[in-house]
Structure 1
Amino acid sequence: MVSHEITLKNDRVERIEGADAYAQEGQLTTFFRTDPDRRIIDRWSVRLASFRTSEVLGVRRVEAQGPDEAFLRAAS
């Protein structure tokens, strides 16, 4: 599963799980879950979260961790 992490002006970091695409919609940056077969933002895409674009400092795509990676990270 793909996710995105965004850093906001107030140094808060938000993680949007399942978001595989994002786009600017007017004054907002909106994150979407798309159909795996299409991989484009269209009317069947699901809006997951929106943030004021002026408040967003950065966006980072985060690939899903496998169960072994999560276990190793927790054990260390």
Structure 2
Amino acid sequence: MGYEVTTNDGGCQVVVGADTYQLEGPLTTFFRTDAGRRVADCWSVRLASFRTADVVRIRRLGDHELRAA
């Protein structure tokens, strides 16, 4: 599982292993959580952060899409 993040400069990055994301001040941060959880908490692992103002689109990717990328 993961997310594809498109930014306003035309860039596109894939955050592999992310289960969820949330806003943290001026940043949108992607997290890996324990199996069966969708909530970012103190046990979650931060994988990547982007300036929220720069994010144009966030698209969730399934495992089959990640293997093809």
Taking structure 2 as the reference length, the TM-score comes to 0.90
Work out the percentage of aligned pairs sharing the same amino acid. Answer: 49
**Bigger Rg, which one:** 1
Unaligned runs of 5+ in 1: 71-76
Q: Which residue of 2 aligns with 1:51?
A: 50
Higher relative contact order (CA 8 A, sep 6+): 2
Please, what is the CA RMSD of the aligned residues? 1.6
Q: Which residue of 2 aligns with 1:62?
A: 61
Following TM superposition, the consecutive aligned residue runs of length 4 or more in structure 1 with deviations greater than 3 angstroms are none
1:4 is matched with 3
Give CA deviations for 1:6-65 in whole Å, capped at 9, x if unaligned: 100000000000001000000000000001133311000000000000000000000001
Q: TM-score, with normalisation over the residues of structure 1?
A: 0.82
Q: Quote the Cα distance in structure 2 between the aligned partners of 1:46 and 1:26.
A: 18
| 1:20 partnered with 2:16 | no
Is there any run of 5+ residues in structure 2 with no aligned partner, and where? none
